[in-house]
Amino acid sequence: MEIFKNYINGQWVSAKSGKTFQNINPANRDDIIGEFALSEQADVDEAVVAARKAFKSWKLVPAPKRGDLLRKAGDIFNRRKEELGRIMTREMGKPTFETEGDVQEAIDTAYYAASETRRLFGHTAPSEMFEKANMSFRVPIGVCGIITAWNFPVAVPSWKILPAIAAGNTVVYKPSKESPHSGVIFAEIMEEAGFPAGVFNVLTGKGSMGNMLVKHPGIDLIGFTGSTDIGCHIGEICGRMNKKCSLEMGGKNAQIVMDDANLELALEGVLWGAFGTTGQRCTATSRLIVHKDIYEKFLGMLKLRAESLILGDGLVKGTQVGPLIHEQSLQNCANYVAKALQEGGRLICGGKRANDGNLAKGSFYEPTVIADVLPTHTIFMEEIFGPVLAVTKADSFEHAIELQNTCDFGLSSSIYTKNVNNAFKAIRDIEAGITYINAPTIGAEAHMPFGGVKGTGNGHREGGWTVFDIFTEWKTVYIDYSDKLQRAQIDNY
């Protein structure tokens, strides 16, 4: 069995304890991908020391020179795109056409971050005093601890790691225990691109190791993507330590379908939004809000198509829906479906494990649609992270917006309508960080801000130019060339 190591200070090293853990293919429990270093406190300490040392010199490298290395990393991601896609599919399940798209996000982010190293603009402003200049500019923060989920094991880390490094920070990265192989490949690519030792470090391990990163006094910033419960826990720790953190957490995203919508287009949208990545996205379409005049018709269309989706190993061509990440997630879906039916929901399709033939070796759950869901139902409010769609009837446009906003989360949203006035009202009134018009709730692009409101996050935005607000601090400079003491707000008034 292949054994994979940590990447610390430019070296591939085993965990100091010698301990490992196994990574298993969710589509086939008999397929053990390999053993990975089970990192503990000593490993975290070593990586942080390396990152702190590297920061002293890395922050002095001219930003465009840092961008040159990021561009090389993008080229390598591009060269290894198909290979990395298959590696990702094997360890986390989604079909290769999705995982290759995942890698493409990293490619896009690498090139974008590289170009932004020439646009880390500051601001100048007039002084209120004679013979005095005012200016401000961005400076890196220090060592960034990056912790990400398994469902986008290359794209989401790239949103954090590459801009952080572009800005002059160094990184200690903990990939999810469910997708450590992708993290190892990420390190291989950064090493080949030529980043100096200590600038980027990868530690594989379980949740307790992530906690060590968060609590480590040598970590200056935490960038996290994962569950709301863990994110809130991280926020509490960082608050006590006065440590900057960016939290990207849960979602309960709704697609609205109005009676004037292109129903075939809306159908394609909800199928992709609800069952792409087997519903295991923070932006997945978990709720469907349909106008009463087309409610039953659209349910019929949805049932027909959802039942025809092809489940299987993501490495097999033609597979449309892969497995859930593990048995615990499958049982979680089953529990939510049972609760939904108990509370009055109507099962349209799915609702059980798929275990015919080769599917029996994996954690497969049928694409599931539950109708007549009310805002008081558990399935309407809580994130499931699986291929389970809750459908609710709306009496009007205003009612649909009210239903959309009746939620503790506010990440992504969608409305299908041909009414331009209602489209713009939806843009104004929907409480979410992202809104799509006539498109599903998934499909973010690397050069635009990404993040949400309410329980989805703590106000930061990854992606685009806004990500640099996370990974830099502002430094303000005053230059007085009057050759005398000038007291602002006193001597000039």
CA angle 330, 445, 183 (to 5 degrees): 55
Q: What is the DSSP letter of 485?
A: -
Q: What is the layout of strands, in order, in the sheet containing 285-291?
A: 346-349, 368-371, 388-394, 285-291, 253-257, 412-416, 434-437
The pLDDT tens digits of the residues spanning 443-467 come to 999 999 999 999 999 999 999 999 9
The pLDDT tens digits of the residues spanning 149-202 come to 999 999 999 999 999 999 999 999 999 999 999 999 999 999 999 999 999 999
| Helix (H) / strand (E) containing 346 | strand 346-349
Average pLDDT of the chain is 97
What is the residue-wise DSSP string for 157-213?
HHHHHHHHHHTT-EEEEE--TTSHHHHHHHHHHHHHHTPPTTSEEE----HHHHHHH
Q: Does domain 3-249+457-476 have CATH number 3.40.50.2000?
A: no
Name the residue among 306, 324, 319 with its Cα closest to residue 365: 324
Chain CA centroid to CA 237, Å: 21
**Residue 335 phi, psi dihedral angles, 5° rounding:** -65, -40
Q: What is the DSSP letter of 59?
A: T
- Mean pLDDT, to the nearest integer, of 239-263? 97
Sign of the CA dihedral running 477, 482, 483, 486: negative
Q: Judge whether 483 and 275 are in contact, CB under 8 Å.
A: no
Q: What is the layout of strands, in order, in the sheet containing 143-147?
A: 11-13, 6-8, 200-202, 170-174, 143-147, 221-225, 244-248
Residue 343: its pLDDT value, please?
98
Q: Dig out the tokens for 362 from the structure.
A: 């994996």
User: What is the Cα gyration radius of the chain?
Assistant: 24
Residue 91: its pLDDT value, please?
97
Rounded Cα distance, 444 and 253, in Å: 14
- Mean pLDDT, to the nearest integer, of 413-441? 98
Model pTM score: 0.96
The pLDDT tens digits of the residues spanning 200-219 come to 999 999 989 999 999 999 99
Please write down the HEC assignment for all residues of 117-163. Answer: CCCCCCEEEECCCCCEEEEEEEEECCEEEEECCCCCCCHHHHHHHHH
pLDDT above 70 covers a percentage of the chain that reads 100
Q: Residue 328: is its pLDDT beyond 90?
A: yes
Q: Residue 492: is its pLDDT beyond 90?
A: no
Question: Sorting pLDDT into bands at 50, 70 and 90, what band is 86?
Answer: very high
Residue 1: its pLDDT value, please?
85
Name the residue among 272, 240, 245 with its Cα closest to residue 147: 245
Rounded Cα distance, 316 and 28, in Å: 12
- Mean pLDDT, to the nearest integer, of 348-369? 96
> Which residues are CB-neighbours of 37 under 8 A, at least 6 positions away?
4, 5, 6, 13, 14, 15, 19, 20, 43, 203, 204, 205
Q: Which residue in this structure is represented by tokens 């601090």?
A: 473
Q: Judge whether 150 and 174 are in contact, CB under 8 Å.
A: no
Q: Judge whether 23 and 31 are in contact, CB under 8 Å.
A: no
273: helix, strand or coil: helix
Q: Residue 316: is its pLDDT beyond 90?
A: yes
- Residue ranges covered by each domain of the chain: 3-249+457-476, 253-437
Active-site residues: which are they?
248, 282
Instruction: Report domain 253-437's class.
Output: alpha beta
Sign of the CA dihedral running 355, 359, 360, 364: negative
Residue 170: its pLDDT value, please?
98
Residue 80: its pLDDT value, please?
98
- Mean pLDDT, to the nearest integer, of 416-430? 98
Residue 59: its pLDDT value, please?
98
289: helix, strand or coil: strand
CA dihedral 58, 63, 68, 73 (to 10 degrees): 60
**Residue 225 phi, psi dihedral angles, 5° rounding:** -130, 125
Residue 193 half-sphere exposure toward CB, CA atoms < 13 A: 29
Residue 132: its pLDDT value, please?
97
Residue 365, strand partner residues:
353
Name the residue among 261, 284, 260 with its Cα closest to residue 272: 284
Long-range CB contacts for residues 60-65, cutoff 8 Å, separation at least 24: 61/168, 63/117, 63/118, 63/120, 63/166, 63/167, 63/168, 64/117, 64/118
**Residue 52 phi, psi dihedral angles, 5° rounding:** -65, -40
Angle formed by the axes of helices 397-405 and 420-429, nearest 10° = 20
Q: Are strands 132-140 and 123-126 parallel, antiparallel or unpaired?
A: antiparallel
Residue 493: its pLDDT value, please?
86
